[in-house]
């Protein structure tokens, strides 16, 4: 009886601790916190830069000066209803095969990319759909060039948001 009671109490304490940590808001690194808040305010001021879905809200900001090898770049901030946040940089360029999309994800919101995906499609929407529907097959290793592009575009985002 005593063992059962001890086991029940231990499991209850662990479950309560897990529930408490799951309900805490995700931690955003201090170096991203201001950028995230400004990006949300910028996008909220213009409804075409906000996409609300049953899964959560997504905020967008196009970058005025993308990296030289890309024609377009934009950041996407996702806030899912399950309490998860992520920041993505999407780089777009036209190739002979179509529109190439490179997605760099900061899933931990610490300012470093952990995942990268690359796809080509007839249009940007086709390439994005390919990544969304079969992301594991399109995952590519994160390179130093990707990290440099991420850092440069994050600085550009900070500058553009302060200028607005």
Compute the distance between CA of residue 14 and CA of residue 123 in angstroms, rounded to an integer: 49
Q: What is the pLDDT of residues 100-112, one digit of tens each?
A: 999 999 988 988 8
Average pLDDT score over the chain: 83
| pLDDT at residue number 17 | 40
Asked if residue 134 lies in contact with residue 117, where contact means CB atoms within 8 angstroms, the answer is no
Count the helices and strands in the chain (H runs, E runs). 4, 7
- pLDDT (0 to 100) of residue 136: 81
The string of pLDDT tens digits covering residues 8-57 is 343 343 444 444 444 444 567 777 888 899 999 999 898 899 999 999 99
- Position 20 scores a pLDDT of 42
């Amino acid at each position: 009886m005593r063992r059962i009671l001890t086991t029940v109490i231990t499991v209850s304490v662990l479950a309560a601790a897990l529930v408490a940590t799951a309900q805490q808001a995700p931690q955003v690194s201090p170096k991203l916190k201001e950028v995230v808040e400004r990006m949300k305010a910028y996008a909220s001021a213009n409804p075409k830069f906000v996409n609300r879905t049953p899964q959560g809200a997504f905020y967008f900001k196009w970058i005025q000066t993308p990296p030289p090898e890309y024609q377009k770049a934009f950041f996407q901030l996702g806030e899912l209803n399950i309490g998860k946040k992520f920041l993505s940089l999407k780089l777009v360029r036209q190739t002979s095969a179509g529109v190439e999309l490179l997605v760099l994800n900061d899933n931990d919101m610490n300012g470093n990319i952990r995942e990268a995906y690359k796809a080509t499609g007839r249009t940007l929407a086709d390439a994005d759909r390919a990544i969304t529907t079969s992301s594991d097959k399109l995952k590519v290793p994160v390179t130093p060039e990707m990290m440099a592009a991420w850092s440069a575009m994050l600085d550009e985002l900070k500058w553009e948001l302060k200028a607005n």
